[in-house]
């Protein structure tokens, strides 16, 4: 059984805040085996990964692309800075690959829920490191180390709508790898790798509404996927460039 | 809060079985607002959507592709029959578009957990119709009509591993559409459409292990997305061909 519940009462997060303290206060009792799914926005804000739109000087390419796409050239400039490649584009849509290897709209640059109207929230520079640091700080504060999943809403190829996925992980198996293990009928499964951390992110997102300001969700029931060590992180969920058929 | 629990004690499903009866027996008390996530395999089996490998006569194209991909030519023949297009292929991997518009490996044709070793399980012909029929039968049996999500595990572009997604839906909003509605800071959200039914499928999958033979999961806490009418179904989750950048 899985139980997921949004944590109440997390205040607006500013740069430099101790996120672990806010989470402990909101969560109350935490236990080993718990998973905390945290919206990347509060992690990015705590880390100062925001940009004031007014401070951005768009370059030539940004100005061109912005005209083509009907977007603010300063926003496009920031998207370009946060991208290692533009994977696809068409009017109004920029699908980017980030330096982490994530493929998502606008390189994860987000204006919504950013606090001030003219502020953009970027992805953390190293979301796995952010997750590990948050877990270590929780362990220091409470003596227990819940797994951390940092989540963002990504669109998908072929399917309408967004699903939350894990962009940073500490202490949760990114995948449950069944390759070579027997199924219920005893036959070896050939390609089965369940993206546990992505599923946890998606499950967490179901607990809240987009206007609810509940950026953290406690998920219980995933103990069998929670590990003592921090593990390979969400980096293990990025398909290698040379194996990807859709770049 | 979301609670997801696998239903115990569902026996091996054969063609013609009354799936709704099995679900009612396993679930006990059902309530309006409940969501039942059902693995497509038991739906397909109940509908007789299986093929005995020995009965398949592979055509020329299947023989060629099978040699190229190191697969059984009879399996490839069935995959081709179940595909409207091969979207990408490389040794060992066939990414197909199905007549429903789903993009997935092997057109969803599956040999694992199929019962007999030489039996392939296909996707239901019309999974939304299957979901609606199951819901109607549950309503007839119990007087309440939980929402139905028929789920399958699909791989994703760019990311490692599979996540369960909704391939058939009755009575659950496929997406929670926030476009134009205000976020927590009062600004209109531009592109936010949460793929609720896919997230529910992913959450349900977390409750079980791949060898556990628990093909149905009861999800509670999604009442706000459950509808009286059956709604547009998973067809609404298929991005239109002409809008898709990755076909």
Q: Over the stretch B195-233, which tens digit does the pLDDT of each residue have? A: 999 999 999 999 987 777 899 999 999 999 999 999 999
Q: How close, in Å, is residue A38 to chain B by CA atoms?
A: 16
Distance between CA B2 and CA B142 in Å, rounded? 23
Per-residue pLDDT band at A206 (split at 50, 70, 90): very high
Q: How far apart are CA B221 and CA B213, in angstroms?
A: 24
Give residue B117's pLDDT: 64
User: How far off is chain B from A141, nearest CA to CA, in Å?
Assistant: 26
- How many helices and strands, by DSSP H and E, does chain A display? 6, 12
Under an 8 A CB cutoff, do B161 and A247 touch?
no
Interface test with B, best of A72, A112, A196 (most B CBs within 10 A): A112
3-state class (DSSP) for residue B25:
helix
pLDDT of residue A234: 98
Rounded CA-CA distance B69/B59 in Å is 15
pLDDT in tens, A48-92: 999 999 999 999 999 999 998 888 999 999 999 999 999 999 888
Query: Which one of B93, B161, B193 has the shortest CB-CB distance to A161?
Result: B193
- B67: tokens are 């040699």
The pLDDT of residue A115 is 55
Weakest-pLDDT range from A43-47, B70-74, B233-237 = B70-74
**pTM listed for this prediction:** 0.96
Position B113 scores a pLDDT of 53
The single residue listed with the structure tokens 């370009």 is: A80
With CA atoms as reference, the chain A residue closest to B177 would be A161
**Rounded mean pLDDT of chain A?**
93
A211 Cα to chain B: minimum distance (Å): 4
Structure tokens at B237: 């989750």
A231: buried, middle or exposed (CB in 10 Å: 19+, 13-18, 0-12)? Answer: buried
* ipTM of this complex: 0.95
- Using the Cβ of A161 and the Cβ atoms of chain B, whether some distance falls under 8 Å is answered with yes
Subunit contact A156:B195, Cβ cutoff 8 A: yes
User: Residue B21 — φ and ψ, nearest 5°?
Assistant: -60, -45
What angle do helix axes B19-27 and B127-142 make, rounded to 10 degrees? 60
Q: Is the pLDDT of residue B114 over 70?
A: no
Q: Do B194 and A161 touch (CB under 8 A)?
A: yes
pLDDT at B124: 98
Confidence class of residue B90 from pLDDT cuts 50, 70 and 90?
Answer: confident
- DSSP lists the bridge partners of residue B238 as A159
pLDDT for residue B45: 96
End-to-end Cα, chain A, rounded Å:
37
Q: Tell me B15's DSSP state.
A: T
Least confident of A108-122, B95-109, B192-206: A108-122
pLDDT given at position A212? 78
CB contacts < 8 A (A, B): 228
């Amino acid at each position: 059984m899985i139980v997921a519940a949004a944590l109440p009462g997390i205040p607006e997060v500013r740069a430099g805040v101790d996120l672990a303290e806010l989470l402990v206060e909101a969560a109350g009792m935490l236990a080993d085996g718990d998973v905390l799914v945290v919206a990347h926005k509060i992690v990015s804000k705590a880390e100062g990964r925001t940009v004031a739109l007014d401070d951005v000087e768009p370059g030539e390419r940004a100005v061109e692309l912005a005209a083509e796409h009907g977007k603010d050239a300063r926003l496009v400039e920031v998207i370009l800075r946060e991208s290692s490649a533009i994977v696809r584009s068409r009017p109004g849509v920029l699908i980017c690959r980030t330096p982490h290897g994530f493929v998502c709209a606008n390189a994860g640059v987000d204006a919504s829920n950013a606090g001030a109207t003219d502020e953009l929230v970027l992805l953390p520079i190293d979301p796995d490191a952010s997750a590990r640091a948050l877990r270590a700080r929780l362990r220091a504060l409470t003596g227990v180390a819940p797994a951390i999943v940092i989540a963002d809403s990504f669109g998908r190829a072929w399917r309408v709508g967004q699903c939350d996925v894990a962009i940073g992980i500490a202490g949760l198996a990114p995948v449950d790898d069944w390759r070579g293990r027997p199924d219920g009928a005893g036959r070896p499964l050939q390609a089965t790798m369940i993206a546990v951390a992505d599923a946890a992110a998606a499950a967490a997102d179901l607990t809240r509404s987009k206007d609810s300001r509940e950026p953290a969700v406690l998920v219980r029931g995933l103990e069998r996927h929670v590990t003592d060590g921090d593990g390979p992180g969400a980096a293990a969920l990025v398909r290698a460039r040379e194996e990807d058929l859709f770049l």
